[in-house]
Amino acid sequence: MINAIIFDFGDIFINLNKDICANEFTKLGLKSLNEALLAKNDLFEKGEISEREFIESFHAFIPNVSFDEIKSAWNTILGEFPLYRLEFLQMLAGKYRLFLLSNTDAIHIDFFENKYGPSFTKDFYQCFERIYFSFEMGMRKPDSSIYNYVLKQNDLVAKNTLFIDDKKENTDAAESLGIRVWNLQVGKEDVVDLFEKNIL
């Protein structure tokens, strides 16, 4: 019986504008996030490099673009957070132990909190027993260590825990540890469809 649910954040609660973000960087002269930048992103999401070091890594490819322009383009990936998802989460909070587990960085979380303000942010965060951001943990999904850490720290039993994420590599990693999973298909499914999935 499921008594705990671990949620991803991006494309589960807040919509991600991946195409808009890519277009903004194209306007700045960057055609795509290449392997070097993706590697820096992984380090940034684990808190292993600073915000300045991460942003400056773009200058190797778009040297004439300002720090603020790069940061602004980076934040365009964060889209809308529909209120109905928050209301659904608030309903779940009285029935299950809830946790948030997100691969993210300090720039995005700061932007989210400022965009939506203290009231909305508080209403969202207080639904969770604990919130785990990769950049604060020094770990990222799909590393097995991050799932084991959350399970152990909260005395969760894998088979009684559901993990919801839109990336299959993340749900596959969790499933290999005995955690129940829902690999949510963005654009076809919504987190509020949970009770229709016959998982709980």
Domain CATH code at residue 115: 3.40.50.1000
The two structure tokens encoding residue 54: 């991460």
pLDDT confidence of residue 175: 98
DSSP character at residue 21: H
- Grouped pLDDT means (10 residues each) for the chain, 200 residues: 97 97 96 92 98 95 96 97 98 96 98 98 98 98 98 98 98 98 98 93
pLDDT confidence of residue 176: 98
pLDDT confidence of residue 32: 85
Q: For the chain, how many structural domains are there in total?
A: 2
Do 65 and 92 belong to one domain? no
pLDDT confidence of residue 187: 95
Say whether pTM exceeds 0.85: yes
Confirm if 173 and 147 have CB atoms less than 8 A apart.
yes
Do 121 and 193 belong to one domain? yes
Burial class (CB in 10 A: 0-12, 13-18, 19+), 119: exposed
Do 120 and 46 belong to one domain? no
Do 41 and 63 belong to one domain? yes
50: left (phi over 0), alpha (psi -120 to 50) or beta: beta
Do 65 and 93 belong to one domain? no
Do 89 and 48 belong to one domain? no
For CA atoms 24, 26, 27, 29, give the dihedral sign: positive
pLDDT confidence of residue 31: 86
